[in-house]
Chain A
Amino acid sequence: MTPPIGCGEAVRRLWEFLDGGLDAADHRQVEQHLAWCLRCCGEVAFARELRGLLRTRTGITLPDDVRNRMEHFIDELGEETEERSRP
């Protein structure tokens, strides 16, 4: 039987809990806390949403002009001349 933890401690371990980064005993303590604490269950759901937002709402597209310049650069990559400047 592992000793119970409060909301503060559960929240502190939340992302590590979601990442699977806690050791077995710490993981079990968070699970036990979540079994009865609805508020912290809300925190878990929110942490998941927030991680999803980081992944899905930081999209960056390669602009065409940058792509053209970079592909030209790559075409010459590994040639004899080490010093090169952007065209």
Chain B
Amino acid sequence: MGPMVGALRPSERAALRQLARNELPRLYALARRLGGVDPEDLVQESLLRACRSFGSLRDLQAGPKWLTTILTNTWRDWLRKDLREPDEVPVEEDGPFSLYRTIEEEDPYPYSDTLHVDVLGAFSEHDVREVLQRVPPRYRVALVLRYIEGYSTTEVAEMLERPPGTVMSQLHRARHRFEREMWDYAGESGLLVGAAAGEGRGQREVGS
């Protein structure tokens, strides 16, 4: 039988609460970025699970990563069905898309010397968050843990309980999918409308 919630010693309880308080903003942001569920519910459930398995945390220094793993696993449990569902875009179409080359070919800022940087500059924080949510959950989780949370591929593999090679290919597809969604989103929301007319963007000086 696992330890009961109430079985924590007062010192352990205080340590867990302190850890949870310190990590709260990051956990909430992580829950929002993973998406698809109520972020507050996800953080609460994760903290309850953390409470139940506090005995498995040997080193408090490892607490932030430990909480990330618990939250990610809770999210995966909740989204299990969505994570299994086949992607509406066939896998082989995920590979070849290159945002860099698409921008070059479509040339939305014909008067710009810094075409690619200008296109990225058109995306606000809101836009990038929206694009991230359009990436299917099983790819999104890899992008979030690797490129936003900054864990190594090996650490992400441990967290997701997958072989590193699987995570590498998951990341590969995730990046192409993210690039494709950026381009589609820009088109649908008119982000680059008016770009061809100049409207100042092309004049911007951008360092290399």
Show the binding face of A for B, using Cβ within 8 Å: 11-12, 15-16, 19, 21, 42-43, 45-47, 49-51, 53-55, 57-62, 66-67, 69-71, 73-75, 77-82, 84, 86
List B residues 43-60 near A (Cβ within 8 Å). Answer: 43-44, 47-48, 51, 54
- Asked whether, in the complex, the Cβ of B21 is within 8 Å of the Cβ of A57, the reply is no
Chain B: residues with Cβ within 8 Å of the partner, total of 49
CA distance A67 to B45 in the complex (A): 16
Residue in contact with B47 in the complex, picked from A11, A15, A46, A77, CB distance below 8 Å:
A77
Extra contacts, 13 of them, besides A16-B168, A57-B128, A61-B25 (Cβ < 8 A), are A49-B120, A53-B120, A57-B129, A58-B33, A58-B129, A58-B132, A59-B125, A62-B28, A67-B24, A71-B21, A78-B13, A80-B6, A82-B4
Given contacts A11-B98, A67-B24, A86-B44, contact A75 B17 (CB under 8 A): yes
- Asked whether, in the complex, the Cβ of B16 is within 8 Å of the Cβ of A70, the reply is no
CA distance A74 to B24 in the complex (A): 9
- Asked whether, in the complex, the Cβ of A55 is within 8 Å of the Cβ of B120, the reply is no
Given contacts A70-B43, A74-B24, A77-B51, contact A21 B17 (CB under 8 A): no
13 A-B Cβ contacts within 8 A? A15-B171, A46-B116, A60-B28, A60-B32, A66-B40, A70-B28, A70-B40, A70-B44, A77-B20, A77-B47, A78-B5, A78-B8, A82-B6
Residue of A nearest to B54 (CB): A78
CA distance A43 to B98 in the complex (A): 9
CA distance A42 to B208 in the complex (A): 11
How far is the CB of B162 from the nearest CB of chain A, in Å? Answer: 15
CA distance A78 to B19 in the complex (A): 13
- Asked whether, in the complex, the Cβ of A74 is within 8 Å of the Cβ of B28, the reply is no
Instruction: Give the tally of cross-chain contacts (CB within 8 A).
Output: 114
B124 interface contact, C-beta 8 A: yes
B196 interface contact, C-beta 8 A: no
Given contacts A74-B17, A86-B44, contact A49 B116 (CB under 8 A): yes
CA distance A82 to B44 in the complex (A): 12
- Asked whether, in the complex, the Cβ of A49 is within 8 Å of the Cβ of B28, the reply is no
- Asked whether, in the complex, the Cβ of B123 is within 8 Å of the Cβ of A57, the reply is yes
Given contacts A58-B125, A71-B21, A79-B6, contact A50 B99 (CB under 8 A): yes
B29 interface contact, C-beta 8 A: yes
When distances are taken between beta carbons in the complex, the residues of chain B under 8 Å from A57 are 123-125, 128-129
Provide the B22-43 mask, 1 if CB < 8 A to any CB of A, else 0: 0011001100110000001001
Given contacts A21-B168, A74-B21, contact A46 B175 (CB under 8 A): no
How far is the CB of A61 from the nearest CB of chain B, in Å? Answer: 8
